[in-house]
Amino acid sequence: MLKAILFDVDGTLAETERDGHRIAFNQAFAEAGLEWTWDVDVYGDLLAITGGKERIRHFIDHYQPSYPPQANESTWIAGLHKAKTTHYLRLLAEGAIPLRPGVRRLLDEARAQGLRLAIVTTTTPENVTGLLEATLGTESIDWFEVIAAGDIVPQKKPAGDIYIYTLAQLQLHADQCLAIEDSGNGVYSAKAAGIPVLVTKNAYTHDDQFTGAVAILSDLGEPGDAAQAHFGLNPANGYVDCAYLQALVRSADEFAL
Ligand code: XBP
Ligand code: MG
C-alpha cells in the first residue's frame, strides 16, 4: 500500500537544468574570469555527472585538461559552486523556473489523501527551498517530511545512498513508497534502494536508460492535457493521480522493465 511519494527535484518538479542551473554555472564562470561557457549540448553531456561540484571537476578533467591545477582545487571548486548557487537562487526568486505540468495538482491531492511526501535530490538544499518558495510558497517546505539533498550522503545518485537515507528517515519500507524521477541516474538510485520508480522524461533525459522503471511517461499530465505513456501502465484519466500511483505500486513487479 503506497504510504509516501518521493520526489526528485531537477527535471522532475521543474525543468531547472537548461534555463536555470546551466545559466547560473555560466554566470559564475564569467564572474570568476573563466572563459568557460556550457552551451545546451555540452551541458546535456555533463548532466551524466550528478552534483554541481562533481560536474565542475569532471569538466576540468575531461574538457580542460590543460587547465592549471589550483592550489587546493576542492576549496576553489566549492567557492565557484557557491557563487553558482547564488546566481541560481536569484533566477528562482525571479520566477524563471515554473513547476512541470501536474506537480502542484498531484501534491495537493496527495496531501488531501494523507500520503507522506519527501524530496530526494542531488541538488544543494538551498536550491530545494528556493524552488519551493518561488513556486509554491514558503509554507510548502513543511509539506515534505524529509528533504534529502546534496552532500547529506557520501555518494550522490546513481548510488542508492540518498534514497536509503530517506527510507530510514521516513521509517518506511521500499515497497510502501514510490519515487518520481526524470533521469537514468535517478532511476538507478531509487532501484538501488528497492523503490519502484515512475519516470517523467524531459528533453535532456529523453534517451536515458530507465531499466527497472515501473512506468515511463512524458510528464504527470493535467485534465485536458494527457500525459503520453512510453512504457507501463497508462493513466486511466490521462494524468497521474494518487489512484494511478497506488496501481503502480500494487503492480510494480508486473510492469518493471
Ligand atoms: C540534479 C543534479 C544537480 C543539479 C545541479 O539533481 O544532478 O547536481 O544538476 O545542482 P536531481 P547543484 O535530479 O537529483 O534533483 O549544482 O546544486 O548540484
Ligand atoms: Mg532529476
Which domains are delineated in the chain?
4-15+99-255 (3.40.50.1000), 17-93 (1.10.150.240)
Mutate to test the pocket of ligand 1, among 12, 43, 50, 151 (most ligand atoms within 8 A of CB): 50
Q: How many A from CA of 50 to the centre of ligand 2?
A: 9
- To the nearest whole number, what is the mean pLDDT of the chain? 96
pLDDT tens-digit series, residues 160-212: 999 999 999 999 999 999 999 999 999 999 999 999 999 999 999 999 999 99
Residue 225's DSSP bridge partners are: 222
* H-run or E-run covering 215: strand 215-217
Q: Which residue, by CA, sits nearest to atom 10 of ligand 1?
A: 123
SS3 198: strand
Ion ligand 2 residue ranges (Cβ < 5 Å): 8, 10-11, 182-183, 186
Q: Tell me the three-class secondary structure of 126-189, residue by residue.
A: HHHHHHHHHHHCHHHHHHCCEEEEHHHCCCCCCCCHHHHHHHHHHCCCHHHEEEEECCHHHHHH
Residue that the C-alpha cell 493513466 belongs to? 235
Q: Which residues does a 6 A CB cutoff place in the pocket of ligand 1? A: 8-11, 17, 21, 50-52, 121-124, 127, 157, 183, 186
SS3 118: strand
Active-site annotation, residues: 8, 10
Atom of ligand 1 nearest to the CA of 120: 14
pTM value? 0.97
* H-run or E-run covering 7: strand 4-7
Look at residue 253 in the predicted model and tell me its pLDDT. 56
Given a cut of 80, whether residue 123 has pLDDT beyond it is yes
